[in-house]
């Protein structure tokens, strides 16, 4: 069987699940006609990237059935109250979100697989049961690499199409018990190790605000689905920016939690079993209040009694009356592009006007060393396991996969080499903590998520603004700030790059018009286990 045959099997999974969804949650004749006429980001094959609309979200809002849009456009926390009061039923809400996801899947190619039968059964059960559940009836989307009973987990690799699991991830069971309804599995890229979303299992997922830009990755399908407004909340994973980048690129909220706060030890990935740099999970959503509720709901369930790798830490709102917040304007290696530089100034100005916030400068500390350490530990086998997934299926290695695997620090390590780099990791963490305290011991630091807004496909080569915090295991809360403004965000013409990567990133931002409509976001970062604080910082800015 060729890799093309396997790719056809993968797209058949999507097509068959779409067919079943339309049987159980049918569109009326007019809506079906609109759906069939939509410009499609899904091509005839995974090598064909379709002909997406220039601004998919505008088409989505124009063409979606009004009855369904009235439900999906409502703030999810307000919708939750409508569900609990009986104003709408779980089946009605699920129907609206399935319709939204169907439209979104064609416009931005964000769905790997629909879950219509499981979702309908669960929604009907909830409608006849106890409404006093914290997430009662809210549709939940899941990154494809998260185990879901009866479904194959590929994490973007064709060789795993037969890896069907017989269990749900622990966190999925927790959320279902809390009333959430899993309804779709979203796209992720080949090998997971890219800040974009392209694979031979689905093709390419595009940005809902500008289809010539990436949606980010590796939780790219989630980012695009939420950005277009077709899920209440979802789960992603993050080992180098995979929650924060797609959240930033699609103008939503996303939390990279501290290792040990949320259960994810049963997730799949390449290098499964490696513990030098651990991936974490976290919520993604348009609603900051819902993100906060999801975190509280999960920790209220005492997940440490299910997953022994977790800390027994409840979710508690910070009690400090005044927060000290640092601003990292630049990591000293790659300068932010004009839209992100403007966003940093905007947020610094907003915070400086607040009586309950003290703003302090924050300088970087050897961020180049952090990249050297983390890229040495990402692939302790030199990338052999990741390469083997492609060799087994025969699928071509995509450019972004090749870029990360051929980095100058990626090489196979013997046990002593792994130990040595882990010693360097611990040493650097201690040094950075001392540096953090020397900068005024801020409660949080505002920093870029990425040098710019969403980038063009196959150009996301700088992870430094996110992977830095993975190495340190600091929580990061991505939050939207503004959008690219052609009048304010013109390229810097006479810039003198500091290094090769800085020059590459600078040249990518060729004009503000190329990035029109793109969301611009930042990240609140804190010391380990200060997850509640970084969420609080986002709340302060949201209120402003």
User: Can you list the domains of the chain with their CATH numbers?
Assistant: 3-234 (3.90.1300.10), 323-542 (3.90.1300.10)
Q: For every residue of 484-541, which 3-state class applies, written as one string?
A: CCCCCCCCCCCCCCCCHHHHHHHHHCCCCHHHCCCEEEEEEECCCCCHHHHHHHHHHH
Q: For residues 386 and 271, give the distance between their C-alpha atoms in angstroms, rounded to a whole number.
A: 7
Catalytic residue among 106, 143, 425, 539: 143
Would you state the pLDDT for residue 178? 98
What is the pLDDT averaged over residues 305-332?
A: 97
Q: For residues 539 and 533, give the distance between their C-alpha atoms in angstroms, rounded to a whole number.
A: 10
- pLDDT tens profile 283-314: 999 999 999 999 999 999 999 999 999 999 99
- pLDDT tens profile 79-91: 999 999 999 999 9
- Strands (E) across 230-290 are located at 233-238, 253-256, 280-285
What is the pLDDT averaged over residues 432-438?
A: 98
Would you state the pLDDT for residue 171? 98
* Count of Cβ atoms closer than 10 Å to residue 261 Cβ: 25
Catalytic residue among 141, 218, 269, 376: 218
H-run or E-run covering 349: helix 338-352
* Residue 142 bridge partners (DSSP): 185, 235
Q: Percentage of the chain with pLDDT > 90? A: 99
Q: For residues 328 and 326, give the distance between their C-alpha atoms in angstroms, rounded to a whole number.
A: 7
218 part of the active site: yes
Entry field: residues in the chain: 544
85 part of the active site: no
Would you state the pLDDT for residue 544? 60
DSSP secondary structure of 100-135: HHHHHHHHH--EEEE-HHHHHHHHHHHHTS----TT
pLDDT at 186 over 80: yes
- pLDDT tens profile 330-380: 999 999 999 999 999 999 999 999 999 999 999 999 999 999 999 999 999
H-run or E-run covering 183: strand 181-186
What is the pLDDT averaged over residues 98-103?
A: 98
Would you state the pLDDT for residue 543? 73
* Count of Cβ atoms closer than 10 Å to residue 372 Cβ: 18
What is the pLDDT averaged over residues 232-253?
A: 98
- pLDDT tens profile 397-431: 999 999 999 999 999 999 999 999 999 999 999 99
DSSP secondary structure of 197-211: -EETTTEE-EETTEE
Q: For residues 336 and 346, give the distance between their C-alpha atoms in angstroms, rounded to a whole number.
A: 14
Would you state the pLDDT for residue 338? 98
For the chain, how long is the longest CA-to-CA vector? 65
Q: Is the pTM for the entire model greater than 0.85?
A: yes
What letters, b where the CB count within 10 A reaches 16 and e where it falls short, cover 218-238? bbbbbbbbbbbbbbbbbbbbb
Which residues belong to the annotated binding site for substrate? 192, 218, 239-242
- pLDDT tens profile 6-65: 999 999 999 999 999 999 999 999 999 999 999 999 999 999 999 999 999 999 999 999
- pLDDT tens profile 135-170: 999 999 999 999 999 999 999 999 999 999 999 999
Which residues belong to the annotated binding site? 192, 218, 239-242
pLDDT-derived band of residue 270, with 50, 70 and 90 as boundaries? confident
279 part of the active site: no
Catalytic residue among 105, 191, 242, 264: 242
């Amino acid at each position: 069987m060729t890799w093309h045959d396997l790719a056809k099997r993968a797209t058949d999974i999507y097509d068959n699940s779409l067919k079943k969804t339309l049987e159980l949650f049918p569109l009326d004749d007019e809506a079906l006609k609109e759906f069939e006429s939509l410009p499609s980001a899904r091509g005839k094959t995974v090598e064909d990237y379709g002909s997406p609309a220039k601004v998919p979200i505008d088409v989505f809002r124009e063409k979606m059935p009004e009855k369904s849009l009235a439900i999906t456009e409502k703030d999810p926390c307000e919708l939750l109250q409508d569900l609990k009061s009986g104003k709408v039923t779980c089946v009605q809400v699920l129907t609206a979100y399935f319709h939204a996801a169907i439209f979104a899947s064609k416009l931005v190619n964000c769905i790997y697989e629909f879950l219509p039968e499981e979702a309908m059964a669960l929604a009907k059960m909830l409608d006849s049961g106890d409404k006093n559940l914290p997430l009662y009836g809210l549709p939940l989307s899941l990154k494809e690499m998260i185990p879901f009973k009866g479904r194959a987990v590929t994490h973007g690799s064709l060789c795993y199409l037969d890896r069907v699991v017989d269990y749900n991830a622990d966190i999925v069971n927790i959320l279902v018990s809390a009333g959430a309804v899993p309804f779709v599995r979203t796209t992720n890229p080949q090998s997971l190790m890219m800040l974009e979303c392209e694979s031979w299992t689905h093709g390419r997922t595009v940005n809902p605000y500008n289809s010539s830009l990436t949606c980010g990755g590796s939780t790219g399908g989630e980012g695009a689905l939420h950005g277009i407004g077709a899920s209440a909340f979802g789960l992603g994973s993050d080992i180098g920016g995979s929650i924060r980048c797609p959240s930033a690129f699609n103008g939503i909220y996303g939390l990279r939690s501290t290792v040990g706060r949320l259960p994810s030890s049963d997730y799949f990935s390449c290098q499964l079993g490696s513990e030098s740099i651990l991936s974490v999970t976290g919520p993604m959503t348009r609603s900051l209040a819902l993100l906060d509720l999801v975190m509280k709901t999960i920790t209220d369930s005492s997940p440490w009694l299910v997953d022994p790798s977790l800390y027994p830490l409840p979710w508690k709102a910070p009690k400090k009356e005044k927060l000290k917040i640092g601003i990292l304007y630049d990591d000293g290696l790659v300068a932010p592009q004009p839209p992100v530089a403007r966003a940093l100034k905007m947020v610094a100005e907003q915070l400086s006007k607040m009586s309950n916030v003290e703003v302090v400068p924050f300088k970087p500390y050897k961020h180049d060393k952090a990249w050297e350490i983390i890229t040495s530990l990402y692939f302790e086998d030199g990338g052999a396991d990741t390469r083997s997934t492609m060799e087994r299926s025969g699928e071509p290695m995509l450019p972004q996969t090749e870029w990360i695997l051929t980095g100058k620090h990626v090489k196979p390590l013997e046990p002593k080499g792994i130990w040595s780099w882990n010693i360097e990791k611990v040493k650097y963490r201690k040094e950075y903590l001392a540096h953090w305290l020397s900068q005024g011991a801020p409660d949080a630091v505002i920093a870029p998520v990425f040098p710019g807004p969403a980038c063009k496909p196959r150009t996301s080569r700088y992870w430094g603004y996110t992977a830095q915090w993975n190495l340190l295991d600091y929580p990061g809360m991505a939050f939207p700030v503004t959008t690219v403004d052609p009048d304010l965000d013109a390229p810097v013409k006479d810039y003198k790059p500091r290094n090769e990567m800085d020059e590459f990133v600078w040249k990518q931002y060729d004009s503000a018009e190329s990035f029109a409509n793109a969301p611009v976001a930042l990240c609140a970062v804190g010391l380990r286990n200060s997850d509640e604080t970084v969420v609080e910082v986002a709340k302060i800015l949201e209120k402003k």
